[in-house]
A and B are shown apart, each in its own frame.
Chain A
Amino acid sequence: MPFLQYIRPDDGNLYDSTVVKIDLPKGAKPGDTVFLKINFETKLPSKIVRTGYNDDFYFAGQWFPKFGVYEAAGMRYASAGNWNCHQFHHNSEFYSNHSVYDVIITLPKHYVAGSGGMLLTEADNGNGEKTLTYRAEDIVDFAWTAWPSYVVFTEQWKHVKITLLLPEERKIQAERQMTAVKNALEYLETNVGPFPWPHLTFVDPPSKGDGAGGMEYTTLFTSSSFKGVPEFFHMPEMVTIHEFGHAYFMGILASNEFEEPWLDEGVNQFWESRIMDNYYGVNSSLVDHPLLSISDQFISRSSYVYSVNRQTITNKEYSWNYPHGTYSMMSYSKTAVILRTLMGLTGEETMNEIFREYYRKWAFRHPSGKDFISVVNEVVSKSHGDKFGPDMNWFFDQTLFGTGICDYKVSQITNKKNYNSDIKKDTLSKSSISFSEADSLYNSVVELERLGEIMLPVEVLIHFKNGNELLESWDGKSRYKDFFYDGKGKVEWVKIDPEYKIVMDVNFINNSMTLSPDRVPVRRISGKLTTLLQLFIGAITL
């Protein structure tokens, strides 16, 4: 075909044949319609990596020629009209227009199929085969799956018909999966906006197709689990909610995952942890067992906070350019932690309003990161006036587009008895102090430090031995801050960010200090460890 050529816009890799450029025989003017009829053949890989087949299991994703997105001047970062189409990368799959799909699939009669479309007709071909006709409107990608042993469950949630396909052996998990997706629908509809499609199909692939698990294609997504997942382990729910979140945000907003992966993965990760916390427990949303609790939020925070590469690069990179294996930590975890911190600063309702506005303004319109930030600026200004300054760019510049860390520390508490106080000196001498500790007069100093580069406003809770408490504010800009108190009762403990709102803080341990630390938990953990090790000794000896 003389007008067709492979191009490699991202890395010039000559072995990459995932993007094709077609020069039209005749130029198309604005308003013209161009019809393309493409005959294509797809060879599915036999080892399933997101797409492919294994034995009699098939999952077809990224299986047809898909248009790039034409960005007119002014759209996203485009200064002039141009096509935006990237090569297929391991780390990113999506940036495409909302389109209408009419798909006809012919397959052996005994196969059970599911797709991102609504099933319009099913015809028996009389030769041991059947033909299924699907239609899907305004979705960014169309995927389908077929396997003879799927068990199908359907439920109606408001306007959405939900279909779940999973192996017979995992039937018992169907209710858990259905509940998870309904929770996600309810939470996002309440706090962001409605799910616009009347149908949603999700698949829990069998073991032989587990390479297809954990993916999203708007109205079809795949979860991941295994037979006999214990009730206390909410991994299937987490994957379902995560992938549904993609189907929702990427499906509706369709940002550019190639160029701004944080806007897809990070935003979704943030909402995943909120949904998980809301329905499965704040501290135990992922693992809820008497011996061990793990929250969904912990996964995000730990992945960023404890990463040795947390200061290697900013979030300005294209998905395939993140060095030293930082893609996942930066795109998913750091962004989720940043958004959690933003919610900690501005409040949950403001955060919900930000996303409602983002949805209202940008649904089906391919927003960019700057569009999201401008919505944040607009809503925060409306909700909080100039409490945080004229805009929130200072926040994103430091966190999303910076490499600094956030770490505040209580470095010292000092309490000096004030023997020279005017109130007491007439009645007491140094040698005859008989008044109670709580009534003593003290000069107390609380010393705080900022160890990281990121400067965020923080609250400081100061507790006095006589029971009084003060909630101080610190803009967090200077390298250190001292608070002075003269009066009855000495400072007993101090907490920076007492409600742990600034989850970006890389060390919560140094956020507080007390004069009488509670050693009971350490003793308890040590005692339990002693017993466990004794059991271990008993188990390994003859």
Chain B
Amino acid sequence: MKLAYAIKTGLSRSLKAWKGIIVFWLISIFMVSFLVVPFKAGMKAVLGKSMITEKLTEGLNLDVLGDFGTNFTSMGASLFSGVLVLALAAILVNIFITGGFFDSVKSSDLKVTYQEFFRASAKNFWPFLVISSILYIIALLLIIVIIVVPVSIAGNAESAPEGIIFKTLAISGSVFILAISIVFLVADYARAWQAARAESAGFKALGFGFRQTFRTFFQSLGLMLLIIVLQVLVAWCVMKIIAIYTPSTGAGVFLLFIVSQLLLLVKILIKVLRYACVSSLMEQNLEIIQVPSAANSTSDYEIPHDLSPELKSETDV
């Protein structure tokens, strides 16, 4: 019941955060453009007035890219380092924006305004940075321990049975998906808890995230896996469309862009749905009743003082 209610309320709350979704989508395009626009200009400059583009009409042709010569190496290197910078920027921007998202998906009847969204983003930035940094380190360790080490051992075994690398990869991958789901849950519970508080308490939030994740383990994990599957499905659709559809006209290219961007918007919506569902689940489990805040609060909403004993013990950590 709690799960169904969480999904139901999560859906309405995530739709309520549509302004934040638009903001995040626009920012993602803006960030990516810093990389893609110079890349596109570079391609145009190298190709000049050549008709070699006829070899690209059916898709990416390595032969043509190879003829870019040293430009190809330079563009590849720029793209690679650009992606690293993009990744770092995206992580920081995401930390900022999720502050607004978690504030938007709290239990409340008020409309989400842009001002309020960004105010909450700014308020939650530092604690969210602490939460995210620690969880990224944990995720990195998980990748090393669960995937890199076993696969390396399997790959270097001289008398290993046939296909051991793929078997190891499949098992490691499955275990990693479970492990990363737990990391997501910890992150979401911690951020939901932090978003409901007026003061910054990143480490306390993280502690809450771990406790809450393992206290409601199967319920939370089920929800998380469901949402991950949804996200993967949408991502797969986007990839499939990109792979299959190779338009040869300007209008076709525009249509492809619109369709893929719409699907990306859906993907962002599902991510916000995740935040909303976890927030709702947390509120149900802790019986939080959110009410308008006191006049001197930094946020419009905060945890009331007449909490249940369980919640009190959580918030007084």
Contacts and interface: CB of A to CB of B under 8 A. Distances in A.
B40 A522 contact: yes
B150 to A, nearest CB: 16
Contact of A167 (B60, B94, B162): B162
A168 B163 CA distance: 11
Given A527-B256, A531-B257, A542 B98 contact: yes
Given A298-B62, A508-B64, A533-B35, A517 B86 contact: no
A55 B264 CA distance: 51
B235 interface: yes
Contacts of A305: 66-67
B44 to A, nearest CB: 6
Given A291-B60, A305-B66, A532 B242 contact: yes
Contacts of B309: none
B32 interface: yes
A309 interface: no
Interface string B113-128: 0000000000000000
A451 interface: no
A207 interface: yes
A524 B235 contact: no
Interface in A490-532: 493, 495, 506-515, 517-532
Contact of B59 (A293, A511, A515): A293
A298 B56 contact: no
A40 interface: no
Interface in B223-241: 231, 235, 238-239
Contacts of A523: 40, 250, 253
B142 to A, nearest CB: 13
A283 interface: yes
B52 A511 contact: yes
A540 to B, nearest CB: 6
B164 interface: yes
B217 interface: no
Interface of B: 28-29, 31-33, 35-36, 39-40, 43-44, 46-64, 66-69, 72, 83, 86-87, 90-91, 94, 98, 132, 135-136, 158-164, 166, 183-184, 187, 231, 235, 238-239, 242-244, 246-250, 252-253, 256-257, 260-261, 264, 267-268, 271
Q: Which of B67, B90, B187, B267: most chain A CB closer than 10 A?
A: B67
B60 to A, nearest CB: 6
B311 to A, nearest CB: 25
Contacts of A208: 158-160
A147 B255 CA distance: 57
A298 B63 contact: yes
B242 A507 contact: no
A169 interface: yes
B52 to A, nearest CB: 5
A291 B161 CA distance: 32
A298 B66 contact: yes
Interface of A: 47, 54-55, 167-170, 206-208, 226-228, 283, 289-295, 298, 301-302, 305-306, 493, 495, 506-515, 517-542
Contacts of B98: 542
Nearest to B231: A538
A167 B253 CA distance: 46
A236 to B, nearest CB: 14
11 contacts: A207-B163, A294-B62, A301-B63, A507-B67, A509-B50, A514-B49, A523-B40, A525-B60, A526-B40, A530-B36, A534-B28
A441 B164 CA distance: 72
A167 B161 CA distance: 10
Contact of A533 (B36, B48, B50): B36
A292 B60 CA distance: 6
A542 B242 contact: no
Given A283-B58, A533-B83, 16 more contacts: A54-B159, A290-B59, A293-B61, A298-B66, A495-B51, A508-B55, A508-B67, A523-B40, A524-B256, A528-B256, A535-B267, A537-B94, A538-B268, A540-B87, A542-B98, A542-B183
